[in-house]
Amino acid sequence: MQTTLKQTHQWVKEELARCISFWLENGMDQEHGGVYTCLDRKGEVFSTDKSVWMQGRCAWTFSRLCAQYGVKEEWLKAAESCLQFLEDYCINRELGGRMYFTVTKDGRPLRQRRYNFSEGFYAMANAEYYGLTGKTEHLERARRAYNLIWDLNHGLIADPTGLGPKTIAATRTGRALADPMIYLNLTATLRRVDPDWADTYDQRARQCVHDIFAYHRKPDMGCTLESVGPDGEFMDEFTAGRVVNPGHVIECSWFLLEEAGRLHDKQLLADTLAMYRDAIEAGWDKEYGGLLYFLDCLGKPPEAYEHDMKLWWPHNEGLIASLMAYRDTGDEYYLRWFNKLLAYCQAYFSDPEYGEWYGYLRRDGKPTEPPCKGSTFKGPFHLPRMLMMLDEMLDGLTKEKEQA
């Protein structure tokens, strides 16, 4: 086992170096600032429209690289370029500080969405950069966005964009798993760099954990639902109410594992591990391998055409969650899943020739054609985050085994 962990650790370090080089060499916009993320297999830009999510995610990634490995000028410049682009072009200041979803290469607004994930990644990026530099204006920005998201998610303010909910609320309303799970992860990021607000972060984390288990987790059904009614009702008459996204649930599980570890909460640990097991066992494609994108919890046809594709990010999150569960329990079950996921990712997603991972595979594991390494939704975030976290966890695990 020690040899396997060491070999994996070496691969992780090499893969991280390839990934970061890919984005630095191909993605950074030297003219307008920020990052391009619509890149083909070789790193050539195929669309100059910029994802606001990815400006925040890229800024977080390069700030985190500096925090974990020491400041490198090119990393710091990449983070600062994306942060400045966000500040200059991506905030709709006329509508309550809500952020755009996409902008042109030179920052002209293209699309505003009702969802507040642009604000979440903006907050994460500014918090991480503040932790690195101590520049208080970035903490203020992170806190302001963090509170805006809380107020929007809990109906404490009207959405200043006026977009309203996705469906007509008088007909159908409910809860989305993404809201408490992403906010829980955002809370962990801010808590790490901002101890002065610890009480707020602890209270809101408790609420997020409550909402995930009280409303979305259905242990009697062996699943965790993406969408439920206001009180957690199972809405089985239409497809959206039956959707399970295994990768999302697995990502949520490692956010919860971190919280269980912080609190030394054995019950939360046990409940989270059960959530993880249900998701990974249901999501694994027993014919071709890899994690399916969407499932219908009753086995009916999913509405999304891409439901049986294999996307990069659920596999990134699966590797984090599996190794974290093994680290926290010592149970070989989780290590077996880690190795199973790792073997699939090395065989199908990884591209040592050009760096980074294919984003989108067909069910049989072949990349969609022509293959791409980035898109509006894929940039330097899930993969480098996973590799940084695995590097840190494997370092601890290998040292423990050497001392045993």
CATH (domain of 354): 1.50.10.10
Answer whether 260's CB lies under 8 Å from 293's CB.
no
Per-residue model confidence (pLDDT) at position 2: 54
What does residue 176 show for φ and ψ, rounded to 5 degrees?
Answer: -115, 130
d(CA 291, CA 225): 17
Residue at 37 is within a domain = no
Residue at 237 is within a domain = yes
Q: Which residue has the tokens 């916009």?
A: 29
Amino acid at 57: R
Q: Binning pLDDT at 50, 70 and 90, where does residue 165 land?
A: confident
- pLDDT per residue as tens digits for the range 244-291: 999 999 999 999 999 999 999 999 999 999 999 999 999 999 999 999
Rounded alpha-carbon distances, angstroms, from residue 270 to 24, 275, 326: 41, 9, 13
d(CA 116, CA 290): 30
Answer whether 148's CB lies under 8 Å from 119's CB.
yes
pTM listed for this prediction = 0.97
The answer for 146, left when phi > 0, alpha when psi is -120 to 50, beta otherwise, is alpha
Residue at 35 is within a domain = no
Residue at 197 is within a domain = yes
Token pair of 99 as six digits: 């952020």
d(CA 349, CA 366): 9
pLDDT surpassing 80 at residue 3:
no
Residue ranges making up the domain that contains 254: 173-360
Number of Cβ atoms within 10 Å of the Cβ of 162: 11
d(CA 347, CA 70): 31
Residue at 114 is within a domain = no
Residue at 198 is within a domain = yes
Residue at 236 is within a domain = yes
Residue at 138 is within a domain = no
Amino acid at 70: G
Q: Which residue has the tokens 């965790």?
A: 224
Answer whether 292's CB lies under 8 Å from 307's CB.
yes
Q: What is the mean pLDDT of residues 339-352?
A: 98
d(CA 44, CA 56): 21
The total of structural domains in the chain comes to 1
pLDDT surpassing 60 at residue 1:
no
